[in-house]
Amino acid sequence: MALTSGLQVDQVTVRFGSHIAVDDVSLTLGAGQVLAVLGPSGCGKSTLLRAVAGLERPSAGRIFFDGEDLAGIAVHKRGFALMFQDGQLFDHLSVAGNVEYALRVRGQRSPKRVAELLELVGLAGYSDRSPTTLSGGERQRVALARALAASPRLLLLDEPLSALDPTLRARLAHDLREILVATGTTAVMVTHDHEEAFAVADAMALMRSGRLVQSGGLNEVWAAPVDEEAALFLGYSSVVDGSVLGQAPGPMALRRSALVVSSDGALSGVVKSVRGTPELTRLEVEVRGVGVVAAVAAASVGVLAGQEVRLTLDRTRTARVGAVS
Ligand code: ADP
Ligand code: MG
């Protein structure tokens, strides 16, 4: 049954010769929602996105948008927009010219709309600049304005922030989220960066070797990673058996800050490394029967490598792995 609104990918497989790049993937995305497709390099994210765009033909399965089967519908008739890691701007056109171009190919011309779009992406006043004079982040903002110009039914983003440095990436991820929400844009963003996924999306689909391994709301996925590899890819620092931490047995994912130095802690270990930050001290601690795990101490607690420390578990910074919810 096709959903009447939004995107529905139904058991899609994409092959390149004998290589299966996307393997029987099914997912849905409601109108106005943002889905992050997260997974390591080579797992098939771009191929899946290209199949949705119509740039790859699935060897099996179907893709629907607003209930309509896209199989016979050409790329430019889908009403989707694409944005890539490198925004692929026309350097011979001005910033405004790049955005205007996207309107013009659809038979529209509106300087007012161009100005609104540039304002939306935080580039008011940049109209006459040449893209060659912009920073990487500014170029991606222009690319976003251009992608949104035609009010796409679906925006497909392939690692849109990956070429940027980490600080800029975090800021643009935040702005991207606000812009997508403000415009009510339905979007699929492919990324290998879990922080980017958490900053931008409402829902997540985790891929590995062409297959979908887990999907759901951000909190849902974060609270119950399907297996150890998923937990580590989502940004948990380690997975241990709960029983070694005095918890119920079974795999438990720990955030970097799940173990906290505390004089009355139930666990003890030897500090392997210390790295101070203004707010807290990050440690690696060898805990007997557990191995080397990340821990934190308040910045006021002086901790030295080689020292024996006691640790307490902050259960709010853990998740059960593979738990049936
Ligand atoms: P990701 O975007 O997750 O890094 P891709 O979707 O680009 O991964 O690629 C998935 C797999 O499919 C990789 O093994 C890649 O080498 C292969 N692949 C992608 N495009 C082609 C192609 N046009 N021809 C042959 N193999 C391809
Ligand atoms: Mg890719």
Distance from first CA to last CA of the chain, Å, rounded? 26
Give the pLDDT confidence of 211-235 residue by residue, as tens digits.
999 999 999 999 999 999 999 999 9
| Residue after which a domain boundary falls, among 200, 230, 260 | 230
Angle, CA of 183, 188 and 190, to the nearest 5°: 130
Domain identity same for 250 and 223: no
Q: Between 19 and 86, name the one with better pLDDT.
A: 19
With respect to residue 267, please indicate whether it lies within any of the assigned structural domains.
Answer: yes
Handedness of CA 135, 140, 146, 148 (dihedral sign): negative
pLDDT band at 324 (very low <50, low <70, confident <90, very high): low
Q: Which of 19, 189, 212 to mutate to test the pocket of ligand 1 (most atoms within 8 A of CB)?
A: 19
pLDDT band at 318 (very low <50, low <70, confident <90, very high): very high
Domain identity same for 91 and 187: yes
Please give the share of the chain, as a percent, with pLDDT higher than 90.
Answer: 90
Domain identity same for 145 and 289: no
With respect to residue 277, please indicate whether it lies within any of the assigned structural domains.
Answer: yes
Q: Which of 47, 59, 193, 209 to mutate to test the pocket of ligand 1 (most atoms within 8 A of CB)?
A: 47
List the CATH number of the domain containing 286: 2.40.50.140
Domain identity same for 187 and 128: yes
Residue 282: CB partners within 8 Å, gap ≥ 6? 256, 274, 275, 276, 294, 295, 296
φ/ψ of residue 202, rounded to 5: -95, -35
Q: How many whole angstroms separate alpha carbon 261 and alpha carbon 313? A: 9
| Residue after which a domain boundary falls, among 230, 257, 274 | 230
Tell me how far the alpha carbon of residue 100 lies from the centroid of ligand 2, in angstroms.
Answer: 28
Q: How many other CB atoms are found less than 10 A from the CB of residue 177?
A: 18
Strand order of the β-sheet with 318-320 is 238-241, 251-254, 318-320
Verify whether ligand 1 is closer than 6 Å to residue 42 (CB atom): yes
Domain identity same for 203 and 137: yes
Per-residue confidence (pLDDT) for residue 300, from 0 to 100: 82
Q: Between 276 and 47, name the one with better pLDDT.
A: 47
Domain identity same for 305 and 163: no
With respect to residue 1, please indicate whether it lies within any of the assigned structural domains.
Answer: no
Tell me how far the alpha carbon of residue 158 lies from the centroid of ligand 2, in angstroms.
Answer: 7
Domain identity same for 186 and 206: yes
Q: Which of 14, 16, 157, 162 to mutate to test the pocket of ligand 1 (most atoms within 8 A of CB)?
A: 16
Q: Is there a contact between 284 and 217 (Cβ–Cβ < 8 Å)?
A: no
Give the pLDDT confidence of 21-74 residue by residue, as tens digits.
999 999 999 999 999 999 999 999 999 999 999 999 999 999 999 999 999 999
With respect to residue 270, please indicate whether it lies within any of the assigned structural domains.
Answer: yes
With respect to residue 53, please indicate whether it lies within any of the assigned structural domains.
Answer: no
Secondary structure letter of residue 79 according to DSSP: -
Verify whether ligand 1 is closer than 6 Å to residue 21 (CB atom): yes
Tell me how far the alpha carbon of residue 140 lies from the centroid of ligand 1, in angstroms.
Answer: 24
pLDDT-wise least confident of 102-111, 199-208, 253-262? 102-111
| Residue after which a domain boundary falls, among 230, 248, 273 | 230
With respect to residue 117, please indicate whether it lies within any of the assigned structural domains.
Answer: yes
Domain identity same for 165 and 263: no
- Structural domains in the chain (count): 2
Nearest Cα neighbor of 35 from 219, 147, 202 is 202
Per-residue confidence (pLDDT) for residue 108, from 0 to 100: 86
Please give the share of the chain, as a percent, with pLDDT higher than 70.
Answer: 98
Q: How many whole angstroms separate alpha carbon 260 and alpha carbon 282? A: 10
pLDDT-wise least confident of 1-10, 119-128, 187-196, 271-280? 1-10
Give the pLDDT confidence of 67-86 residue by residue, as tens digits.
999 999 999 999 999 999 88
Domain identity same for 226 and 249: no
Over range 133-162, report the average pLDDT. 95
Per-residue confidence (pLDDT) for residue 106, from 0 to 100: 82
Verify whether ligand 1 is closer than 6 Å to residue 47 (CB atom): yes
Which protein residue has the closest C-alpha to ligand 1 atom 23? 16
CA dihedral 164, 159, 217, 225 (to 10 degrees): -90
With respect to residue 12, please indicate whether it lies within any of the assigned structural domains.
Answer: no
Per-residue confidence (pLDDT) for residue 277, from 0 to 100: 86
Domain identity same for 98 and 149: yes
Secondary structure letter of residue 293 according to DSSP: E
Domain identity same for 35 and 139: yes
With respect to residue 296, please indicate whether it lies within any of the assigned structural domains.
Answer: yes
Nearest Cα neighbor of 210 from 77, 82, 41 is 41
Give the pLDDT confidence of 291-315 residue by residue, as tens digits.
999 999 998 888 999 999 999 999 9
Written as one letter, the residue type at 255 is R
Question: At residue 1, does pLDDT exceed 70?
Answer: no
Give the pLDDT confidence of 174-186 residue by residue, as tens digits.
999 999 999 999 9
List the domain range (segments joined by +) for residue 278. Answer: 239-320
Domain identity same for 116 and 248: no
Q: How many other CB atoms are found less than 10 A from the CB of residue 288?
A: 10
Per-residue confidence (pLDDT) for residue 134, from 0 to 100: 96
List the CATH number of the domain containing 112: 3.40.50.300
Which protein residue has the closest C-alpha to ligand 1 atom 18? 21
